[in-house]
A and B are shown apart, each in its own frame.
Chain A
Amino acid sequence: MEKVKQFFINLWTTIKKFFVNFPYKKVSKKLLKYITNPKVLNSFAAIFAGLLVGFIVMIFVAKNPFTQEWSFATAIDGLERLLGGGAKDLKNFGNVLFKAAPLILVGLSVGFAFKTGLFNIGASGQFMVGGAAALYAANLLTLPVGLHFIVAALAGVIAGAFWGFIPGILKAIYNVNEVITTIMMNYVAMYLTVMMVTYPKVYDQGLTAINTNFPTAHTPVLGLDKLFPGSNIDISIIIAILVAVLMWFILEKTTLGYQLKAVGHSKDASKYSGINYKRSVALSMMIAGGLAGLAAALHYLPIKPAYFRPIEIINPVGFEGISIALIGQSNPLAIIFSGTLISYIKEGASQMQLFGFNKEITNIVISVIIYMIAISAYLGSVISKRRERKKELEEETKKPNRIDDESVTKGGEING
């Protein structure tokens, strides 16, 4: 007992020390530096441009819901919902966070692969397989509350990791282009999960989906619903953020991450410096797959889950993941933000349907954001070049200007 008490006292003093000695000034300076970093500014400008284009498109098609005539006011109403719908009240914002969790993780999956020089189009397949595995574990195992969720989520991670490992190992050993294998693996996953879903022991005829009644395996809520009353929120958003921080830590602060990134930069140079290329590639794809699998677990395990239906369509979530990774420029911490942003815009867009706007506006906005990010470096250089030239011109024309002024006044006199 004494020991436990001592432990807590020690813990408390370390926490206190941490907050007292915390380098607030340094951190805030760093934060400011980070926000004013041109890359980050570019992303914000791109997001603004995307919303602007979305608004312009909305203006063109805005119709008054009653008179069916073109109406600017409706466009404004729609924009208000698009921008503010996700934060209209705590319930909506809770749902935004709830839906953001899987998106962040899929974005991390694609982004992690990007950072290590691989293009993971297969997040969809890894997601589908991971989801099916998690639901199998949730349905077929009997375990105590809490542990059951962890096991089910891990089942998703392992299945996704396996699905990512195959293209990874094929790339590592046989040098097979991972773009094509991940596309193929998406289709294999689609047919495989259709078969898995209709397996009688887990299939619910009434739902036409995998049974979702597995009380012990649902994602714990841990009282977060008190913070966001009425919403579906659970701890998945916390898991997603923690995983993102972990990924950032691995990539930026560990030798492993350094090696993985080095392989992404240059295969030959990394080989030369003694990094195990094959292991790195396989491991990167495995981690990417595991992240997508975890995303699926968090997507299908909540108390109010999405249904896993036997339809022969590749889940588009992997392609959303590409968008999210690109908007976050593959930085795990930025992906937390971009995933939440996409979820936020989606929530706004679904509310916008009240005013007769199609929710596809989300993808229009997202695509413009991505395109602007793609060309932002070029635009930035053009703008800065122009500024320089303007400055030079101004400096050059300062002297001649005076002469011009004199001649103008002279001309005035003559005319007068």
Chain B
Amino acid sequence: MASFYDYFSLVLFFAIPLIMTALGALFSERGGVVNIAMEGIMIVGAFVGILFINGKFTPGINSAAEFTDAIGGVTVYLLGMLMAIIAGIVTSYLHAIASIKMKADQIISATAINTLTPALALFLTMSLALGESPGTDKLPVSRGLYLIEEVPLLSKIPFFGELFFQNVYPGFYIGVIVIIVTYIVIYKTKFGLRLRACGENPHAADAAGVNIYKIRYLGVLISGAIAGASGFIFVIGFTIEFNASVVGYGFLAIAVMIFGNWQPFKIVGAAFLFAGLLTLSDGISFFPALDNLDIPEGIISMLPYLITIIVLVLTSKNSRAPKSAGQIFDKGER
């Protein structure tokens, strides 16, 4: 049981930021705007959030430890995430204004954002000496400070208590909330219906009196907010030094979204499958039967990507992208 537990918590850990980013991209794509800028937005979110929790925006506070001593780890974490969300919204606004108002090619403007953000983060870190020592382009992350050791009462539940309510980052709960809220918003609200209509047939939605531009703006900005937060969660969970990179997670998330067929729950399933395979090379020792086969580590590391491709081939018949995703909406053109 212990082995399964270790493995499962590792999978959870990997899956949450993946799910969040994929759901973020979902909001944008369901509204008809392809957003491959998720990688760049995650980087901005993580960058601004980490600067905040390291006390760079707060006068009188010089380090992450001082900050958490002053107002508590969870509070700092949540405030940092709020900053990340704001940064994410601002960045995604760049994409929104180019691709919705200015009718630009959505891939081009997103590529610009993906190129800009890591460069800007590294540049500012170096030039303004934001790291620990002046010469470095890395930001320190004291991730241990933000763990919730135990949630009172709930942590006493057998098995699940240990898994979900001990030694977790607050981001985990945020991730769960995002999953539920996304499902409700997309399928159970008026906004969700309009958003889906915008992605499927904007001209029909327009004729029905929906303001396409406004709905699409909202979709992209929501995706920016979620991507900013998930970038922050990802970096705090995984690294002790942030060097303006989320190691391709933003692109993986878009793959997971396509894999999940643009549907929230399928995305969650796809992300878990993917994260499960992704952690296989780290977690193989939990499965003695597999471990004994002595498969080279490189091959095991390739598996998640190969299996994803195979699954996509098998399920491709059912794959349905939002019909007008990537297309520019022009009121006059019909």
A interface, CB within 8 angstroms of B: 57, 61, 119, 121, 170, 174-177, 179-181, 183-188, 191-192, 194-195, 314, 319, 322-323, 326, 357-358, 360-364, 366-368, 370-371, 373-375, 377-379
Contacts and interface: CB of A to CB of B under 8 A. Distances in A.
Contacts of A357: 127
Interface in B292-315: 296, 298-299, 301-302, 304-306, 308-309, 312-313
29 contacts: A61-B128, A174-B312, A179-B36, A179-B258, A180-B258, A180-B312, A183-B248, A183-B251, A183-B254, A187-B302, A192-B298, A195-B296, A195-B298, A314-B248, A319-B111, A326-B111, A358-B122, A358-B126, A360-B120, A360-B126, A364-B120, A364-B123, A367-B115, A367-B116, A371-B98, A374-B105, A374-B108, A375-B109, A378-B101
B12 interface: no
B148 interface: no
Interface string B82-102: 000000000000100010011
Interface residues of B, number: 48
Contacts of A186: 248
Interface of B: 36, 94, 98, 101-105, 107-109, 111-116, 118-120, 122-123, 126-128, 137, 248, 251-252, 254-255, 258-259, 296, 298-299, 301-302, 304-306, 308-309, 312-313, 316, 319, 321
Contact of B109 (A170, A319, A374): A374
Which of B116, B128, B137 is most buried by chain A, counting CB atoms within 10 A of its CB?
B116
Contact of B298 (A177, A191, A366): A191
Contacts, number: 136
Given A187-B305, A188-B302, A371 B112 contact: yes
Contacts of B111: 319, 322-323, 326, 370
B241 to A, nearest CB: 15
A378 B112 contact: no
Given A360-B126, A371-B98, A176 B118 contact: no
Nearest to B256: A180
A188 B122 CA distance: 28
A176 B316 contact: yes
A314 B104 CA distance: 28
A187 B120 CA distance: 25
A385 to B, nearest CB: 14
A358 B124 CA distance: 9
Contact of B319 (A177, A179, A181, A322): A177
Nearest to A60: B127
B331 to A, nearest CB: 15
Contact of A361 (B123, B299, B321): B123
A366 B103 CA distance: 21
Identify the 10 closest CB pairs spanning chains A and B, nearest first.
A363-B119, A367-B116, A378-B102, A374-B104, A371-B112, A367-B115, A61-B127, A370-B112, A374-B108, A184-B305
A183 B122 CA distance: 24
B313 A174 contact: yes
